[in-house]
Structure 1
Amino acid sequence: VNNCLQLVIQTSSITDKNKPFEFRINKEQSSFHNRLLQHDLEKNYSGRQGDVQYDNTNFGSSSSITSFPVLQCTAEEKILNSDRLTLERQKLTVCPIIDGEDHLRLLNFQHNFITRIQNISNLQHLVFLDLYDNQIEEISGLSTLRSLRVLLLGKNRLKKISNLENLKNLDVLDLHGNQITKIENINHLGELRVLNLARNLLTIVENINGLDSLTELNLRHNQVCSIKDVDTLPCLQRLFLSFNNISSFEDILCLADSSSLSDITLDGNPIAQETWYKHTVLHHMMQLRQLDMKRITEEERRMASVAVRKEEERKRESHKQTLLKEKKRLTICNIARQWEIQQNRVALVASLNTDKDNEPCQINGSAAYVFPEESRSLDTLLSSAVQGLSVLESHLVEVEGDTLYLYGSGALECLDRNWSVQTATAVVTVSFIFIEFDEIVQVLTKLKTKFPNSVHLKFKETNLVALQQFNALAQVNRIEQLTVDPQGNPVVSFTLWKYYVLFRLNHFNLQKINGIQVTQNDIVMAERFFGILAYVASSELPRYRMLSLLGESRRKQFHYLLEGKGKKSGIGNEEGNDNRAGGESTARATLNYSTKDFHMEKLEEMKERRTLCRTYVENLVKEAADINLKNESLQKLWPQMFIELVRDAVVEIRNKNSYMKLCLQRIADQKE
């Protein structure tokens, strides 16, 4: 600005914060008072005083340019307002040609219908250009206005910021109330101090580096959800972000790195509804003096610091719990997949073993089945799936409240660990998930000692397929509740499975089965359905097998009964006395369960015994046959052999002297 013209920006003091900015143009020490520019440059500028409005402005026509009106001012008007021209509310659709006014410093086109900026390139000394409330769609025609300091284009139809390359001296740029979606082409405006982009369509604040003199940035009423590059503005003091879409502090994290920012507004954003909003902002922006137009006290800063520390601790703990839950979820998913793969393989093997259509063929001298192509593909798929999941945990042990959850067969090993007394006594429910029931049977006895207060067993995806498997639960010390999930336990599809459980585990006095209360009628029905089964099993069982199933005290009682030393009344009430004493009845004890592995071991042992016996008998038979064969051969050859023996003896002793000499010679040879 030259020596005779000065642009002054005044800000109100803190006590007069409701007063707007005042832009005042001074010429030769004279001032035009009350020339106001609103704080956020969003309001109507028509209330300004001190500007002369040309209500009776005369527009002529130019012979050379007939499409634009030509502004003609009287000599008196030029003297009174030599550097100012106001043409607001003149219903102009184009910018008129202004002849002889090259000295203008201030030009006002407010509240017209202008669609394009033109015919002002000759105003080389223009400092203030106001085109508020028009219909301009593109910034153009300003490349020659190198002295321009204030450009007001609010409430137009702009969609893009462009053509400002030569306006390097801009001090104020107002583009509020347009349709701008992106901040661009302003990085060269190093002198810009006020930028107003309120009421546009911005979603991301970026590309603002290079605005080294910017002190105020207005972004109210946009759709901003993320802010970048604000920390690169060394002079930014006031940032207005009210009524946008900022929902987390991470979206405005760069503001914490700004050392000059002292006033910020975030009201009207989703983040302002959070309980931690004020504390977090104050904790990360210690340099702030005002937040949402309210002064910040030292007490608020101290409370914010304490609250933020607590919030961070809570978030860390929450994050830790989230990670643990996610790890648990992934582990359970992996266990479930491995279980499914295992079940598919078992089903595949079973189907192949029962497939009678496949004929055996010779491969390398050994018999083998011809596998269908689908089977080979499935097996390959399952193998690759197992390899892909091997990096995850294959089992999970978790104590939640009074329940011990065991996922996967590997979890059964946890029963061997040293549990604390508090944890062991607190466990009331034990839940088995994705574990073969035959594997569970092997550790049931450990539940007695490890978790003495466990009274509720849950089974889900455990392959309970037969009623006799429930016999194994008699090993447990005490059961009050039993839950068998239909998922992965086909035995639940049997109508009478609950009655069998009540009958076989009668000595436990079960209270609930699958969450349903057990009634006395259920117990009577169970006895009616399966009472004869126990009698048949015990009557057909050999004595030595019966003794092997009973404990030492029960064996003595059993011997006592068999020897007839007990009274008849005692014999008749034996089973009832056992039940009243809380023990398992003798008849029911004969209903036991052997796991597949145990059964296979027994079969293998019996097979080995049969093989040994067969081999021993075969050897005996072979030896006897050989002896008999030799005896028969001897009987056939003996007569001839006897004749030959007699003949040889007679021949030898026929010459007595020769025979004696021969005998003496043999004796002499033996002595030598």
Structure 2
Amino acid sequence: PHKEKKRLTICNIARQWEIQKNRIVLVTSSNQDKKDNKSCQINGSAIYAFPEETRSLDTILSNAVQGLSVLDSHLVEVEGDTLYLYGSGALESLDRNWSVQTAGTVTTVFFTFIEFDEIVQVLPKLKIKFPNSLHLKFKETNLVMLQQFNALAQVRRIEQLTVDPQGNPVISFTLWKYYVLFRLSHFNLQKINGIEVTQNDIVMAERLFGILAYLASSELPQYRLLSLLGESRKKQFRYLLEAKGKKSGIVSEESNDCRKFGGENTSRATLNYTTLDSHEEKLEEIKERKKFCHAYIQDLVKEAADINMKNESLQKLWPQMFIELVRDAVIEIRNKNSYMKLCLQRITDQK
């Protein structure tokens, strides 16, 4: 019964995903009964298949199986050493208090029917919740550009990466595997899509994309580089700067230094990925800063203009003012006795 319930839930999640991506038109009520077929059909192609069940739908739905968390919009399941996450709502399960045994058992995390930008937000939680996870799998996650792989550097370690071509157009890029090997070189990936990584692959990745990281880091000012790095990485960066001051640095030396510090290459760290939501937040923040700066500069200009106007007025009036000051002083001290009395009176008034 749980297989049928799981199949129906995944079919529903898949249908919502397809509708979200505008890939299919909502099916009519006359076609709803077809969902009880052996496999889930979308656009005429079978996505998931499960053995047929002879029991009625009511019987199936009334028998939920423990350990399987099923909702209409998402599904979470641990099967063997793999954690399956279907639908964006499944990401909330990473906030659960997983048992130590279950968390330690999970070595593979499989994301399906979830926007990659949403996955990026929870990647830091993976290394905390599932410390032994070494294999990430993505299917129907809308991976569309190489830049998105930069986000995987947030994970503590990865030995295997699997990106299913279904729902991930980035696979159509011939050099995508080399970019992954280059950007995530500090993970020492063993397999990509089930194929062993060779030393030749690593060398080729460095040749293809080494100049990219160099340009990215060389174009950024030092303060921007430091803002991108954590405390440990800042120490590494300063160490490299000092080393370059004594001796001209080369890529191989920098790579050795990075291994010494146990982190990723500093130049590669500049190749990061910002989700659309974060990008929009930053744009809004920049807009607010520009607005504040514009108003602040306007106030400064107005104040400077007022000061300049006062200075010009003073320059025009000063000759006449000076003559009047001298005249008043001469008149005041012309009678010595009266001036002395006036001075004594002022001193007395002050006391």
2:266 counterpart letter in structure 1: T
2:10 counterpart residue number: 332
Structure 2 unaligned residues grouped into runs of 5+: 30-70, 318-351
Size of the aligned set, in residue pairs, is 274
Distance in 1, matches of 2:180 and 2:312, equals 68
1:488 to 2:167 alignment: yes
Distance in 1, matches of 2:239 and 2:188, equals 28
Q: Compare CA radii of gyration and give the structure with the larger one.
A: 1
The normalised TM-score by structure 1 is 0.38
The normalised TM-score by structure 2 is 0.70
Q: Superposed, which structure 2 residues align to 1:369-408 within 5 Å? A: 393-408=72-87
Q: Is the 8 A contact 1:560 1:566 kept in 2?
A: no
1:594 counterpart residue number: 274
Distance in 2, matches of 1:410 and 1:633, equals 70
Q: Is the 8 A contact 1:331 1:395 kept in 2?
A: yes
Distance 1:579 1:619, change over 3 A: same
1:560 counterpart residue number: 239
Q: Superposed, which structure 2 residues align to 1:235-250 within 5 Å? A: none
Pairing partner for 1:534 from 199, 213, 223: 213
1:611 to 2:294 alignment: no
Distance in 1, matches of 2:307 and 2:249, equals 62
2:137 counterpart residue number: 458
Q: Is the 8 A contact 1:508 1:582 kept in 2?
A: no
1:365-396 per-residue CA deviation (whole Å, 9 max, x = no partner) reads: xxxxxxxxxxxxx8xx69x9xxxxxxx61111
Distance in 2, matches of 1:626 and 1:535, equals 50
1:596 counterpart letter in structure 2: L
Q: Secondary structure at the match of 1:453?
A: coil
2:258 counterpart residue number: 578
Compute the displacement of 1:340 (Å): 1.7
Compute the displacement of 1:399 (Å): 0.6
Higher fraction of helix: 2
2:105 counterpart letter in structure 1: A
2:113 counterpart residue number: 434
Q: Secondary structure at the match of 2:264?
A: coil
Q: Superposed, which structure 2 residues align to 1:112-151 within 5 Å? A: none
Distance 1:567 1:612, change over 3 A: closer
Compute the displacement of 1:580 (Å): 6.5
1:62-97 per-residue CA deviation (whole Å, 9 max, x = no partner) reads: xxxxxxxxxxxxxxxxxxxxxxxxxxxxxxxxxxxx
Distance 1:548 1:417, change over 3 A: same
Distance 1:626 1:585, change over 3 A: closer
1:460 counterpart letter in structure 2: K
Q: Is the 8 A contact 2:228 2:270 kept in 1?
A: yes
1:467 counterpart letter in structure 2: L
Q: Is the 8 A contact 2:86 2:113 kept in 1?
A: yes
1:240-283 per-residue CA deviation (whole Å, 9 max, x = no partner) reads: xxxxxxxxxxxxxxxxxxxxxxxxxxxxxxxxxxxxxxxxxxxx
Distance in 1, matches of 2:142 and 2:83, equals 20
Distance 1:621 1:593, change over 3 A: same
2:96 counterpart residue number: 417
Distance 1:511 1:619, change over 3 A: same
Q: Secondary structure at the match of 1:442?
A: helix
Structure 1 unaligned residues grouped into runs of 5+: 1-321, 348-377, 385-391, 639-672
Q: Superposed, which structure 2 residues align to 1:225-304 within 5 Å? A: none
**What percent identity do the matched residue pairs reach?**
80
